[in-house]
């Protein structure tokens, strides 16, 4: 199962303080910005998202159709196909993509320890 690019989405209290901290670790901003309360940062192939006031817990995030350099991958497995495969294996989902649509969509699940996982397709 190819899930696409991986990142960790961090629920932060102060996006400015978090941005400054991760810059000290060598991360650079690539998308978004503090004024929009979200920011994507990268250090080599490692990608993190900083999100202030958008969710309560940190989230493991996968983006079908993208690689770690935020470049489109073709072909790729559509998020709805990934969802169908997981459901067929008996995996419980927290939210689901509408399987009658095409294009951007997402679904969420949790691992056995309750860690949220977002599969978020942007194209």
Q: How many domains does the chain have?
A: 1
What band does 110 get if pLDDT is binned at 50, 70 and 90?
very high
Angle at alpha carbon of residue 25, lines to 19 and 31, rounded to 5°: 40
**Contact between 18 and 32 (Cβ < 8 Å):** no
Q: Is 119 exposed, middle or buried (CB count within 10 Å of its CB: 0-12, 13-18, 19+)?
A: buried
Average pLDDT across the chain, whole number? 96
Q: What predicted TM-score, i.e. pTM, was given to this entire model?
A: 0.89
Is 21's pLDDT higher than 90? yes
Q: In the numeric block, which tokens belong to residue 4? A: 């696409």
Q: Is 83 exposed, middle or buried (CB count within 10 Å of its CB: 0-12, 13-18, 19+)?
A: buried
Q: Which residue segment(s) compose the domain that 54 sits in?
A: 5-121
Is 88's pLDDT higher than 90? yes
User: Which whole number is the average pLDDT over 84-96?
Assistant: 98
pLDDT at 57 (0 to 100): 94
What band does 58 get if pLDDT is binned at 50, 70 and 90?
very high
Is 69's pLDDT higher than 90? no
User: Which whole number is the average pLDDT over 5-16?
Assistant: 96
Where residue 15 sits, what CATH number does that domain have? 3.10.180.10
């Amino acid at each position: 199962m190819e899930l696409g690019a991986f990142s960790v989405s961090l629920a932060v209290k102060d996006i400015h303080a978090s941005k400054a901290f991760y810059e000290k670790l060598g991360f650079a901003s690539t998308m978004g910005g503090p004024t929009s309360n979200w920011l994507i940062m990268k250090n080599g192939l490692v990608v993190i998202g900083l999100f202030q006031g958008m969710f309560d817990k940190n989230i493991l995030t996968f983006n079908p159709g993208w690689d770690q350099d935020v470049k489109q991958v073709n072909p790729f497995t559509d998020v709805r196909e990934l969802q169908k495969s997981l459901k067929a294996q008996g995996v419980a989902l927290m939210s689901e993509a509408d399987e009658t649509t095409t294009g951007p969509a997402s679904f969420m699940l949790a691992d056995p320890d309750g860690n949220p996982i977002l599969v978020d397709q942007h194209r």
